[in-house]
Structure formats: C-alpha cells, structure tokens
Amino acid sequence: MEHHADPNKVFGLGYTPLSWAIRAFEPMSREPLECVKLLVKAGADLNFIDFDGGSYVMLAVKFGFPGIMKFLLDAGANPNIPDECGNTPIEVAASKGSRDMVEMLFPLTSPSSTLSDWSIDGIISHVKHFGLKPRVCVSFCAHLQFHMLLIITL
C-alpha cells in the first residue's frame, strides 16, 4: 500500500485485493485480519460485489471468518447485500450453524418479511427447517465454466 496500489483494482474474473485476502487464506488456521484492515484503511470499497455475487461480508460468512466479518461491519459494510441466489449473510450464517455470526449480524440486518419469527433463534430455526431460499441461480463462475466446457468439446 505504500506504493499507492489501488485497493479496489479488479483482477481476472472480478476479484479485488480484499476478496483475494478473504478467499486466499481460507485453508489456513488463522484469519487474514491484518491484511483486511490494511486494505480497508487504504480505501477498499466495503460493499463491492465480486463476480460470484458475494459481498465481503458474505465472503467472511461463507469462509467462516467472524473476526473479519465483525471488522467489516464495524467499518460500515452493508450486511443486507444478498448473494447471487438472494440469500443474506445472516441466512447463510444460520445455515452454517454459526450462531456467533448470526448474533453479530442480527442487530444490523433488515428484518425479512418471509420469516414469521424475526429473532436469532427464529432465523436459525427457519433456516434449519427450510434451508436457504429455494432459487434457481447460476453464478457467473458456473456460467463461465459451462461455456468453457462447450468450447473445449467443440
């Protein structure tokens, strides 16, 4: 960052340095929180949506990084941005059994009219019983892989 790199530069298929930071460390035992903090301090757009339809908050939820998610929320990231299937971070956190993340997201998430019991336990129970929203969705990545397969087979 000391060489004035752009923290919002989009590379390849739509990843930014911040989405790479969250994704690249997924198999490691430690969160890449310090890297995320540096990128946010440098001006990373907290609500960017990558090619796969994921916001940074959603990526932190999907990859199981509660510390990163909390930092992003504290820095002003929007917890209501759904993924490519229309699921919100709180629903995905509930589907992964991450009660701690559901508790952090709950006071910041707009209530859903599809849930009769808008409470932490109500959200967890609903997702446990019904699963995530049943929507037919194909991410850009899956769409691209399909077209690559067609090209290869021709």
Q: What is the pLDDT of residues 96-130, one digit of tens each?
A: 999 999 999 999 999 988 888 999 999 999 999 88
Q: Across 5-9, 102-106, 126-130, 139-143, which has the greatest mean pLDDT? A: 102-106
119: in domain: yes
State the pLDDT at residue 46.
95
What whole-number distance in Å separates Cα of residue 25 and Cα of residue 32?
Answer: 6
The CATH number of whichever domain residue 49 belongs to comes to 1.25.40.20
Over residues 11-20, mean pLDDT: 80
Q: Indicate the pLDDT class of residue 154, thresholds 50, 70 and 90.
A: low
Q: Is the pLDDT of residue 139 over 90?
A: no
93: in domain: yes
Mean predicted lDDT score pLDDT of the chain: 83
CB 61 within 8 A of CB 89: yes
113 is in which domain, residue-wise? Answer: 17-153
Residue 29: C-alpha distances to residues 6, 58, 119, 151 (Å) = 28, 19, 31, 38
What whole-number distance in Å separates Cα of residue 72 and Cα of residue 21?
Answer: 13
pTM: 0.79
Q: Indicate the pLDDT class of residue 16, thresholds 50, 70 and 90.
A: confident
143: in domain: yes
9: in domain: no
Number of domains in the chain: 1
- Rounding to the nearest 10 degrees, give the CA dihedral for residues 6, 8, 9, 14: 160
